Structure 1
């Protein structure tokens, strides 16, 4: 039986095979709210790009739940691309290790002695592991590294499961501004008297301010922060510059953004907000992948007709008609929710994937998803 390839609410149909096979497209970014199937979608698209279109593909996940490794038949993923042996094409997969990526940045842009000082600093250790925005910043760093190596025909990024999908775009700039900010630079500015920093002079000259800052942040934290900034002196300017460079890559026509959503109000609202943001930032939105859509075997029979027919028949046929009616009602509700996005963004094409009876855990399952949405 052939699958209905029409888009929801009569909208435009998303040609994902056209995107995956296009040699001009080198990066696909899957984004959306958490829990909508971004990781599975990214893995299915990467597998299809490698197997069906012969592209040397790497999929980068930021999802710490390790679902990508499981679905690709790998025991683990780390910060280095690993070949997926179960795929017939050239497919590699990796999972972002944000601390290791931060360490790589430090090693690349400073000398070994200074790097050791940075690694030993408690402020750096906390920042590279838990600081707000570090994961998103390092995702951008890793994307930039993969693009610079020029080893891949296609890079597919599964964006972080953030509170808001917009964190992937906003956090790198915020962290870059922090690392390159004037407040941190003040701690480095040389003083003419005794080699003290501006912070030392300000603390000595304005004891009330100094005592207040020390009370709020703590003496040890200030010492750690000052040592961190001092060791990081040679790297200032690089953080923001690289974030801006990768940001420009995301704006380039070699990149295609795919929104991933479920037909639920919160997910659709997030997808619509993200679509507006991408348009405002002049980033290329290729389309929406609508996951976990309820399907019925006889779509011509609506919920009302099924219930009416159930009243006129006996079991077990009436029971089957009632089950069909419930599924049809759910499908109708989902179609109404999905239509809100299509009404607001009629020019954005849509692909759909039916709700699966179980989670996808293997290569064959990913192939089925790829066949369905493409």
Structure 2
């Protein structure tokens, strides 16, 4: 019986070429929580600015890590320039404020009088700040605004740390379902009906509808919703068109998705979900970054041999024996951990052999400043074989030769 063959090496992800290519206009980083996705986004943005690009990094993650790592006190809904001395490009950063983005959309696409009516509406106040799906739709709005401004030649998007990171891909369909839903059509029917006969027909059905819904929602909430829908009615088509246009933009050449994971089972399982979802949506995937790996300083000494050598040195004793034995045991632990991480990476590659991979070693501490981001950027963009250990950057350990 023939033993199953191990998966071949994953193709290498060349992030340096991706970032430097002027045809790359949007990079979307997605992944589960706790894998360093925000730091990866910031490091790529800094590297792009130092390569001469005009870059803005947009975070949808409500955590404040991006501002801290870029040396800013805070981020808000407007891009803020990050000081990068000596950089030939320019780096800006911002954090999505979905209510302010919604307010800006209303102001831009309605008269001042109608905008004031909408802003004062209690239902709008709730919708613009807390309703499910609003954040994802506003992320599409903001991305579309940034792209249309032509101020930046590269936009890097740092998505929320969960499976909902890709919910903004559903924004156009969600908006269409909302606009075409039964409740919206009934609420807007009286305003849209033409002629006295139309008013009588709509009025009879609407009266029954309002009595039922009033019992469920309460009369005041129903009135707020109806007033909101009537005030916003002329803008609905624009909402849908812009969301659809941005969705199509994400599918075009010039956009690349980078999935970020840690060498852990749950994180790589989430990465598989992201890869499958992007494939289903027809979105351009650049590849997978496996962050916070633990490659050993050398692979010439296996974990088993290092443990045996540690025992021998400890038994022999002598000057420096304790220190040498300790170093050998640390190496053995590192080799064991790296082997586990490579096995997990191989499992991913076996399921997704076409996905390009880049591994990034764990930093000595938290990345919280530009220098730390610059170091991480070097690890992300360095040449595939430029490691000094013989291990390509698409792997944690070298690929062992297969038995003939």
Q: TM-score, normalised on structure 1?
A: 0.91
**Partner residue, 1:307:** 307
- 2:352 pairs with 1:354: no
Shift of 1:202: 3.0
Q: State the alpha-carbon separation in 2 of the partners of residues 35 and 273 from structure 1.
A: 16
Q: State the alpha-carbon separation in 1 of the partners of residues 237 and 200 from structure 2.
A: 20
Q: How many residues align?
A: 363
**Partner residue, 2:215:** 215
Q: Is the 8 A contact 1:136 1:172 kept in 2?
A: no
CA distance change for structure 1 residues 115 and 195 in 2, over 3 Å: closer, same or farther? Answer: farther
Q: Is the 8 A contact 2:80 2:94 kept in 1?
A: yes
Shift of 1:283: 1.2
**For 1:184-227, what per-residue CA distance to the aligned partner results, in whole angstroms no more than 9, with x for missing partners?**
122111256699798863353x3xx6554323222222111111
- 2:327 pairs with 1:320: yes
Q: Which residues of structure 1 form unaligned runs of 5+?
A: 1-7
**Partner residue, 2:25:** 26
Q: Is the 8 A contact 1:55 1:90 kept in 2?
A: yes
User: Where do residues 93-104 of structure 1 align in structure 2 (5 Å cutoff)?
Assistant: 93-104=93-104
SS at match of 1:10: coil
CA distance change for structure 1 residues 168 and 328 in 2, over 3 Å: closer, same or farther? Answer: farther
Q: Is the 8 A contact 2:30 2:159 kept in 1?
A: yes
CA distance change for structure 1 residues 20 and 227 in 2, over 3 Å: closer, same or farther? Answer: same
Q: State the alpha-carbon separation in 1 of the partners of residues 65 and 21 from structure 2.
A: 27
Q: State the alpha-carbon separation in 1 of the partners of residues 80 and 295 from structure 2.
A: 36
Q: Is the 8 A contact 1:62 1:160 kept in 2?
A: yes
CA distance change for structure 1 residues 322 and 217 in 2, over 3 Å: closer, same or farther? Answer: same
Shift of 1:13: 1.4
Q: Is the 8 A contact 2:25 2:254 kept in 1?
A: yes
Q: State the alpha-carbon separation in 2 of the partners of residues 350 and 277 from structure 1.
A: 18
**For 1:252-304, what per-residue CA distance to the aligned partner results, in whole angstroms no more than 9, with x for missing partners?**
01101111111111111111121122122221111111111112222222222
**Partner residue, 2:346:** 339
Q: Is the 8 A contact 1:98 1:138 kept in 2?
A: yes
SS at match of 2:286: strand
Q: Which has the larger radius of gyration?
A: 2
SS at match of 1:74: coil
User: Where do residues 225-304 of structure 1 align in structure 2 (5 Å cutoff)?
Assistant: 225-304=225-304
SS at match of 1:359: coil
Q: State the alpha-carbon separation in 2 of the partners of residues 36 and 201 from structure 1.
A: 56
Q: Is the 8 A contact 2:98 2:138 kept in 1?
A: yes
Structure 1 window deviating more from structure 2 (270-279 vs 225-234): it is 270-279
- 2:140 pairs with 1:140: yes
**Partner residue, 2:9:** 10
Q: Which residues of structure 2 form unaligned runs of 5+?
A: 1-6, 315-321, 382-404
Q: Is the 8 A contact 1:9 1:335 kept in 2?
A: no
Structure 1 window deviating more from structure 2 (64-73 vs 244-253): it is 64-73
Q: State the alpha-carbon separation in 1 of the partners of residues 205 and 309 from structure 2.
A: 83
**Partner residue, 2:38:** 39
Q: TM-score, normalised on structure 2?
A: 0.84
Q: State the alpha-carbon separation in 2 of the partners of residues 239 and 293 from structure 1.
A: 42
Q: State the alpha-carbon separation in 2 of the partners of residues 76 and 171 from structure 1.
A: 28
